[in-house]
């Protein structure tokens, strides 16, 4: 090889070594760009050498040309790799945060609308001296039916409505059995509210659920009469639904109360004018109630000559539906966040 060819190969070796060093040391994209211009640019050091290839004697020309192309490939590869490394370095954790994006908002938990109804009802009755108590969800037929003056052949005890776990054991169909448990345990005066789940063999539909909350109430003492009963319910209605809400007692029947009444409140949605929530009647039934039947007192060992009392039972899910104008009970039990979030 002639001295001209040999000196070009030396220069290519130097370009390769120095170029790789310059690229490797480039601390930012500007430094990298100037290394690129210096070594691979149109008037750069590699282009210089390439422009001289024509002056090399024919025999050596091929070697020098191949070597020049190889150096070019090596430096291009190094440039690309360095550019990538610099890019991911500048995209550190802080560089990845786009401050122009709208904030995602924190998830804030809330109290379920049915739970809120239960809490408020218990609080309102607490003002009247009622204590909140709980009872078992798995219950004997004695407490669920017999002690409440419901014969086992009564339709309410029927297999159609009741989940039987055993011959004498059921999932309670209402919270009323806790009345009997409380009276068995405590002497009068008794004033309790009992929130809890009840179970019935109903399928989920817009107004039924197989497991649903109830709140039971019971007040027993000497001299408790219908006037106190009405006053307590009216106090509750005014505090829960608002002062302007009217209530009325409608005669009804329950085996454990005599007389029995259903309590209706004036429809808040249409103010009594008639709408779909109140089925055009202007009234919404919120509870069953009545004066405790003497047969229940006898079953729990209270003297029916001495004591009188009233009891009531209501469904907080139904009340939440009335309060918020919710058309389908299943919405309250499906746990759909997009629905529930509106109540937080």
Binding interface with ligand DAH (CB under 6 A) = 174, 176, 216, 254, 257, 288-290, 311-313
Distance (Å, whole) CA 251 – CA 329: 26
- The least distance separating ligand DAH from the CB of residue 253, rounded to whole angstroms, comes to 9
Rounded (5°) CA angle 36-38-43: 110
**Closer to ligand DAH by Cβ: residue 68 or 150:** 150
Q: How far apart are CA 288 and CA 122, in angstroms?
A: 17
Task: Tell me how far apart the alpha carbons of residues 144 and 296 are, in angstroms, rounded to a whole number.
Answer: 12
With respect to ligand DAH, which residue has the nearer C-beta, 82 or 174? 174
**Any residues with CB less than 8 A from the CB of 300 and at least 6 apart, and which?**
147, 180, 183, 184
Shortest distance in whole angstroms from residue 292 CB to ligand DAH: 8
Nearer to ligand DAH, 162 or 289 (CB): 289
Closer residue to ligand DAH in complex, CB, 39/143: 143
**Using CB atoms, what's the residue nearest to ligand DAH?**
313
Instruction: For the CB of residue 229, give the shortest distance to ligand DAH in the complex, in Å.
Output: 10
293 φ, ψ (degrees, to nearest 5) = -70, 135
* Nearest partner of 175 among 132, 233, 113, judged by Cα: 132
Residues forming beta bridges with residue 236, ordered by sequence position? none
335 sits in the region (left: phi over 0; alpha: psi -120 to 50; else beta) called left
Q: Minimum distance between the CB of residue 227 and ligand DAH, rounded to whole angstroms?
A: 17
Closer of 311 and 331 to ligand DAH (Cβ): 311
Q: How far is the CB of 252 from ligand DAH (least distance, A)?
A: 8
């Amino acid at each position: 090889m002639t001295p001209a060819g040999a000196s070009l190969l030396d220069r290519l070796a130097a370009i390769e070594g120095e170029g790789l060093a310059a690229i490797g040391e480039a601390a930012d994209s500007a430094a990298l760009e100037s290394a690129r211009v210096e070594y691979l640019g149109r008037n750069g050091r590699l282009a210089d050498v390439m422009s001289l290839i024509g002056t090399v004697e024919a025999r050596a020309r091929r070697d020098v040309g191949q070597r020049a192309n190889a150096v070019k490939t090596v430096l291009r590869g190094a440039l690309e790799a360095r550019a990538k490394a610099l890019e991911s370095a500048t995209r550190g954790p802080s560089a990845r945060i786009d401050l122009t994006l709208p904030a995602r908002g924190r998830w804030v938990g809330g109290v379920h609308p049915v739970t809120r109804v239960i809490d408020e009802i218990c609080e309102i009755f607490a003002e009247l001296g009622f204590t909140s108590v709980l009872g078992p969800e798995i219950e004997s037929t004695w407490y669920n039916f017999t002690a409440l003056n419901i014969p086992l052949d009564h339709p309410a005890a029927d297999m159609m409505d009741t989940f039987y776990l055993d011959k004498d054991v059921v999932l309670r169909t209402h919270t009323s059995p806790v009345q009997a448990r409380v009276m068995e345990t405590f002497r009068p005066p008794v004033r309790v509210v009992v929130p809890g789940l009840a179970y019935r063999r109903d399928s989920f539909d817009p107004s039924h659920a197989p497991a649903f909350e109830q709140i039971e109430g019971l007040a027993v003492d000497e001299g408790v009469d219908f006037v106190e009963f009405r006053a307590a319910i009216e106090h509750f209605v005014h505090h829960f639904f608002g002062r302007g809400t009217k209530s009325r007692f409608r005669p009804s029947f329950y085996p454990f109360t005599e007389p029995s009444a259903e309590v209706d409140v004036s429809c808040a949605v249409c103010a009594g004018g008639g709408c779909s929530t109140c089925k055009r009647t202007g009234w919404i039934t919120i509870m069953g109630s009545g004066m405790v039947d003497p047969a229940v007192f006898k079953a729990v060992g209270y003297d029916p000559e001495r004591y009188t009392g009233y009891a009531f039972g209501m469904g907080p899910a139904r009340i939440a539906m009335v309060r918020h104008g919710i058309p389908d009970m299943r919405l309250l039990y499906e746990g759909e966040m997009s629905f529930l979030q509106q109540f937080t």
